[in-house]
A and B are shown apart, each in its own frame.
Chain A
Amino acid sequence: MIKLLGAAMVVASSGIGGMTVAGRYSRRPRELKSLGYALQMLETEISYGANHMKVALEQVANRCDQAVAPLFSRAAAELSAAAGITAAAAWENSLCAYYRESALNPQDLIILRSLGSSLGISDRADQVKHLNLAMEQIKSENAKAEGEAARNVKLWNYLGFLGGLLVVLILY
């Protein structure tokens, strides 16, 4: 009975492990897509609304997908704290916290970090260029992420459970 219980636990934990990895593969394209839309909103706030960065980030945080909203809301909150902080620093702090909780990979982090360093320091046309570049890069990463997700989600889901079964068989 104990053996049976142990085997079930091995299969379940291995299955959950597999599902977690698969979940990251399926979450990343969703997050990248939401990030793309959010950056599009930020571009609109900057180019048409000419809203200050703090307000622009707040607006985006209120309207974008909840999965990426913390990135914008935290950056806006840091800027609002009036501690003499630049948008680049606020974005960097927010990005560090957000990245740990997200499904993004290091390549995505580089794109967002690079965007942060140029936030708010140039005229409208230049800001739009930087945002468009980031959106293009995210789009390209998203295409890759979708391919990876199509290949890996099922694989990891099966691999988790089957791996668990294999361990159980070997141990028996």
Chain B
Amino acid sequence: MIGADFINCKDDRYSAWAGNEILLVLPVKIRRMISALPGPILDSVEEIRIRQGKPLALGLSSGDIFVNPEGKPARQPVEAYHVTAADMENLIDLISGSSLYALEEELRTGFITLPGGHRAGITGRAVLDGGKVRTLKNLSCCNLRVSREVAGAASGLLPHIVDKKNGGIYHTILVSPPRCGKTTMLRDIIRQISSGVPGLLYPGLTVGLVDERSEIAGCYRGVPQRDVGIRTDVLDGCPKAEGMMMLLRSMGPQVIAADEIGRREDVDAMEEVLNAGVKILLTAHGSSLADLAERPVLGRLIRSKMIERYVILGRSRGAGTVENIVDGKTFRAVGVRK
């Protein structure tokens, strides 16, 4: 639970809230409650957790809170608004744009990307086909994650991943657990290396971005809604492995960027990119390099020493804290707690 300063705050400004697009997919009742929240709380909302029959919860940068029917922070879960089956049905209808039939692939992966790059994670009962998840039904829990564009988030990190000698960047992987600002950091790195940073990397580099989940560039009908730089070509909604190869063949990128690698085919495609002389900029789930090394596919990649920089992100001083930067050849820290 959060501190009394949040419970007692009176500010009700919310018009500039980063998650305004999320309000449109909320059932009217819940939309009113969230809109009525005091401004400082809205500003620190990272996720809205809606579970059928359970209290309406918000994940803030400082912890979780529950929301009561009047749109105020509830001190106890029992005082909070409890989500009904009708709310859940309405929410799914709005999230899918009344087109659940068109989102079978998204349901299979467990999330739907909303306008503005926000992500709605969904759980329910899995429908299997030959042992693999075909889709989800009886959808009962939803986690709406607010996507934030933080210009300058990567400024402190950039000098450590820019290879001044060769006028490019090092092969880099950003490693962090969920909710540590991985995607936000990746977006800002892409923006800065693409548009160029005077004194560090100027002019910028041509970046090919495979945005499988439409989270990084927040594309609407193929056009990026987020600032991902002036030399960035975005391949939206494309599987990473296939997308990296497509960009390599067709767009002549100097850097290929993608979010959340982990599958064998991703790493195979990445090795192709590395061998083609194109720099890579990727993210992966994990809390440390040791964590990553335990994973069969990524472990192989680490041992191959092809990656030059691992940036470990955490929340020790809020989302997006750079906890460590590790040289991929020597496994020594090159920059700590920036």
Contact = CB atoms under 8 A, between A and B. Distances in A.
B28 A84 contact: yes
A128 B337 CA distance: 56
B26 interface: yes
A123 B135 CA distance: 9
Given A84-B23, A86-B90, A119 B98 contact: yes
Contacts of B99: 51-54, 56, 87, 120
B89 A121 contact: yes
Given A84-B23, A86-B93, A120 B135 contact: no
Interface string B154-182: 00000000000000000000000000000
Interface in A72-103: 79, 82-84, 86-88, 90
B94 interface: yes
B1 interface: no
A51 B23 contact: no
Interface string A53-78: 11010000000000000000000000
A124 interface: yes
A70 B38 CA distance: 42
A121 B103 CA distance: 11
A114 to B, nearest CB: 16
B213 to A, nearest CB: 17
A84 B135 contact: no
Given A84-B94, A86-B90, A88-B93, A122 B24 contact: no
B26 A86 contact: no
Contacts of A83: 24
A53 B97 contact: yes
A48 B89 CA distance: 25
Contacts of A90: 98
Interface residue range, chain A: 20 to 34
A50 interface: yes
Contacts of B93: 86-88, 120-121
B31 interface: yes
Nearest to A123: B101
Contacts, number: 63
Contact of A127 (B24, B31, B90, B101): B101
Nearest to A51: B102
B98 A84 contact: no
A50 B102 contact: yes
A127 B103 CA distance: 13
A52 B97 contact: yes
B96 interface: yes
A134 to B, nearest CB: 16
A46 interface: yes
Given A84-B25, A123-B135, A50 B101 contact: yes
B334 interface: no
Interface of A: 46-47, 50-54, 56, 79, 82-84, 86-88, 90, 119-124, 126-127
28 contacts: A50-B102, A51-B99, A52-B97, A52-B102, A53-B98, A84-B25, A86-B90, A86-B93, A86-B94, A87-B98, A87-B99, A90-B98, A120-B97, A120-B98, A120-B99, A120-B100, A121-B89, A121-B92, A121-B98, A122-B100, A123-B100, A123-B101, A123-B104, A123-B135, A124-B101, A124-B104, A126-B101, A127-B101
Given A53-B97, A53-B98, A56-B99, 20 more contacts: A46-B102, A50-B101, A52-B99, A53-B102, A54-B98, A82-B24, A84-B24, A84-B26, A84-B28, A86-B90, A86-B94, A86-B98, A120-B99, A120-B100, A121-B89, A121-B92, A121-B100, A123-B100, A123-B101, A124-B101
Interface of B: 23-26, 28, 31, 89-90, 92-94, 96-102, 104, 135, 137
